[in-house]
Chains A and B, each alone.
Chain A
Amino acid sequence: MSSPMEQALVDLAAHIDWPEPAHDTPDLSRRLAARPVARRSYRWIPVTALLLVLVASLLLSSPQARQAVADLLGVAGIEITFEPDPPAVVGGELDLGEAVTLEEAAEAVAFELSVPGSLGLPDGVFLSDRPSSGRVTMAWESDEALPASGDTGIGVVYSQFALELAEEADFVKSVMPDTSVRAIEVGSAIGLWIEGAPHLISYEDAVGNRVEEETRLAGNVLMWESDGVTHRLETTLGLGPTLALADSLQPVG
């Protein structure tokens, strides 16, 4: 039997004035016709996708070149869009996931967590299900050596996740016209250094959920993959100090 509280909720549900759908039938034919994109089936590994983004970024000298690159890569299964304005999320509330302890985070994901030894233990640890295999994000408060971005009070945001793309993932990278992307060696891995204006990378994970990688601090981002784990280090620092942080990574615990 349901409790009085449950009965009250069921009663409430019966009295909610839900809006009716505007369309009698799902208005799909028109939308599907407007976007008859038969995406080819590609299985992109992250680094390949990121390197293609890099190639694109090297050719961004003119709007025409940008469009040409976007068209070209669109054919290959990657859409690149150029946004006139930064996404509204930037500078907004940091939406990093559920606050957890470091121990809880380590238990929740299948890979081994690292922390930059030079920063010490993080001031905040967050767990999110984007991608579905789990993402752990650590944040460090700003200090003299780690300038904060805006009024966030945060100096470093570091995420780790095992990137499993959907079988037919479309990988969308949105960069602002003045974002620069460079390939960088991070230890023995090839990574990306994304500097300048905010950017947004989005893709579908293995269970078909869209995952959006967005700039949190309006800072610079170093991204690389190592042993199946994607690392994303966002700071307001330059390349040198950020690489030093990456070099200082050590296993948690």
Chain B
Amino acid sequence: MEGRPLNEQDLIQNAKSGDVAAFEALVQTHRHIALRVAILVVGDKTEAEDVTQEAFVKAYHAMSRFRGDAAFRPWLLRIVRNEALNQRRRRGRQERLSLRLASDPVSGGAAPSPETTVITGVERRTVLDAVNGLPDRYREVVTHRYLLGLSEAETAVTLRIPVGTVKSRTARALGRLEHVLTGLSGRGDDE
């Protein structure tokens, strides 16, 4: 299709009146992050795919209730997360976060800064393990804020907690991580 694409507001309006194509276009740009939100909850990629697709269907049916003045992305992600939590509950067991680290540096992005080039894969694994070891309520805010890159406001909507709680939990989580990691490097001598 040529021409200026419809902006998100146009797509929302059309989707609210039942236009499936508009809704698909609306969620198209969010499908990567939606999958990641689901993976953070259910762990498994295939399961997360199902959850995401099911959540999109639910979101489509719920579009009439979407308030036009609210941000669409966190509203959608909240439905995805909700569906993922339901799926995990149905399944009846909890997965630990099991993310893989890319073995090679990410290419195509900005050139790595001197600080980041000294961070080795081993250290990243340590940081990831420390994130994994956080209590749920702290891990949630850290993964959504930093690993998914959501804003505080988006994290609040997605996790259904007040923004103030996002701030306070983030601060506590960072403190805990620092404590755990400096505790490790305290006896560490790996240069």
Contact = CB atoms under 8 A, between A and B. Distances in A.
> Are A and B part of the same complex?
yes
A5 interface: yes
Task: Indicate the size class of the contact surface on chain B.
Answer: 35 or more
Given A3-B174, A5-B177, A28 B115 contact: no
A17 B82 contact: no
B92 A15 contact: no
A142 B148 CA distance: 43
Contacts of B90: 87-89
Contact of A95 (B57, B89, B101, B174): B89
Contact of B149 (A11, A13, A15, A26): A13
Interface string A199-219: 000000000111010100000
Task: Indicate the size class of the contact surface on chain A.
Answer: 35 or more
A32 B60 contact: yes
B116 A11 contact: yes
Contact of A12 (B53, B64, B91, B128): B128
Given A19-B45, A39-B61, A28 B119 contact: no
B24 interface: yes
A18 B128 CA distance: 14
A16 interface: yes
A76 interface: no
B79 interface: yes
A7 B177 CA distance: 12
A210 B82 contact: yes
Contact of A28 (B20, B82, B91): B20
10 contacts: A5-B177, A13-B149, A15-B102, A28-B24, A31-B54, A32-B20, A87-B92, A95-B89, A168-B64, A210-B83
Given A22-B49, A92-B92, A168-B65, 18 more contacts: A3-B178, A7-B115, A7-B116, A9-B142, A9-B147, A12-B127, A13-B146, A13-B147, A15-B106, A16-B101, A16-B102, A17-B100, A18-B32, A18-B39, A26-B28, A88-B90, A208-B79, A209-B82
